[in-house]
Amino acid sequence: WVRLVTAKTPTNIAVIKYWGKRDEALILAINDSISVTLDPNHLCTTTTVAVSPAFQQDRMWLNGKEISLAGDRYQNCLREIRKRACDVEEEDKGIKIAKKDWESLHVHIASYNNFPTAAGLASSAAGLACLAKLMNVKEDQGQLSAIARQGSGSACRSLYGGFVKWIMGNSEDGSDSLAVQVTDEKHWDDLVILIAVVSSRQKETSSTSGMRESVETSLLLKHRAQEIVPKRIIQMEEAIKTKDFPAFARLACADSNQFHAVCLDTTPPIFYMNDTSHRIISIVEKWNLAEGTPQVAYTFDAGPNAVLIARDRKAASLLLQRMLFYFPPGAGADLNSYVLGDESI
């Protein structure tokens, strides 16, 4: 017999960034972060997991290519989830798995991203929710997020929809470092998110090694984590709860720019944005200034792709027109636009 479970894990985009770890093995951050989870029907990872007594070892495929599960991150996640596995019974298929059987049973995991992998769009959100379902794990979302965190820090925020905060926590063992929902996906549904894919090339410096180098060499990072982010987290939560777009946009843009400033302050410096990213920033800044109040916020993760958050559908439609004007298809600007949240604009 084979038991199969398929699930979609949505991507999240940070509006207050996580950059820097206080514990590399457990993946514990040096500051809290806040993200917005995208609609799972747009950018997401679809994972199918299977278990069968015929499987000889745990194996995983990403976009059809087999990858090694030898790394600590995969092993930690698999071990933690196995520990919590429960009895499973599917009478019609003759499947009966007792809790203790999970120790010796192997899983096959196949994940597909419907977006550029490792190009700075959080693609690492693991298929953990899916494994949890397969193994009938009873843990709540918060506890699952703490396991997902051990696969990749930012992935822990994808366990919830809407706006999500990853609390860095204080304990040494990481037990209080988990994600909580700030507001659900219906709370601020005026917002429209558009992703301008500037480059689908693999990033040169991975987030993991980039943030390690920043922690080792950037003084700005220390100042950011201790003095700036704690205040911004409070202000951002307030802006989200009260749907205060000008405050939201100001904070999101400033935090993205500060994260990239930290990358520049790292030795050797890390460049994630390129000329097209910089052009997009100035187009948005000029437009917001001309309007007198922000219409669009921008944020860039560890890559050149722009995530643009429009205050409403009208602003999103004007934004799209503008983007097409400045970056006409085929004009060599290396830009494809993905519209998320609302296909109809």
Residue 3 pairs in a beta bridge with 51
Interaction between residue 153 and ligand DP6 (CB under 6 A): yes
Using CB under 6 A as the binding rule, whether residue 276 contacts ligand DP6 is answered as: no
- 177 binding ligand DP6? (CB under 6 A): no
For residue 224, give the nearest of 269, 271, 257 by alpha carbon: 257
Q: Which tokens go with 83? A: 């520990």
- For ligand DP6, the binding residues in 118-137 under the rule CB under 6 A are 122, 124
Which of 207, 218, 295, 305 lies at the binding interface for ligand DP6 (CB under 6 A)? 207
Distance CA 25, CA 173 (A): 10
Asked if residue 225 binds ligand DP6 (CB under 6 A), the reply is: no
CB 196 within 8 A of CB 174: no
Binder among 152, 177, 181, 256 for ligand DP6 (CB under 6 A): 152
The minimum distance between CB 321 and ligand DP6, in angstroms, equals 29
Residue 154 binds to ligand DP6 (criterion: CB under 6 A): yes
H runs (alpha helix) in 91-206: 128-134, 141-149
Q: Any bridge partners for residue 65, and if so which?
A: 62
Q: Closer to ligand DP6 by CB, 77 or 109: give it.
A: 77
Q: What is the number of the residue whose Cβ is closest to ligand DP6? A: 153
The conformation of residue 228, written as its DSSP 8-state character, comes to: I
Which CB sits closer to ligand DP6, 258 or 295?
258
CB of 23 to ligand DP6, least distance (A): 11
Q: Which amino acid is at 168?
A: M
Query: Which residues 6+ apart lie within 8 Å of 39 measured at CB?
Result: 10, 185, 340, 341
Residues sharing a CB contact under 8 Å with residue 93, sequence separation 6 or more, in sequence order = 1, 3
Q: Which stretch binds ligand DP6 (CB under 6 A): 15-23, 56-64, 76-84, 311-319?
A: 15-23
Q: Is residue 240 involved in binding ligand DP6 (CB under 6 A)? A: no
Instruction: Find the helix or strand (DSSP H, E) in which 217 lies.
Output: helix 207-217
Please identify, among the stretches 10-18, 38-46, 196-204, 284-292, the one whose residues bind ligand DP6 according to the rule CB under 6 A: 10-18
Q: How far is the CB of 106 from ligand DP6 (least distance, A)?
A: 25
17 or 311, CB closer to ligand DP6?
17
Q: Find the binding residues for ligand DP6 in span 19-38 (CB under 6 A).
A: 19, 27, 33
For 106, the token pair is: 């192997």
# residues contacting ligand DP6 (CB under 6 A): 15
Count of other CB atoms within 10 angstroms of residue 338: 16
Which amino acid type is present at position 137? Answer: V
Q: Interface residues with ligand DP6 (CB under 6 A)?
A: 14, 17-19, 27, 33, 122, 124, 152-154, 207-208, 301-302
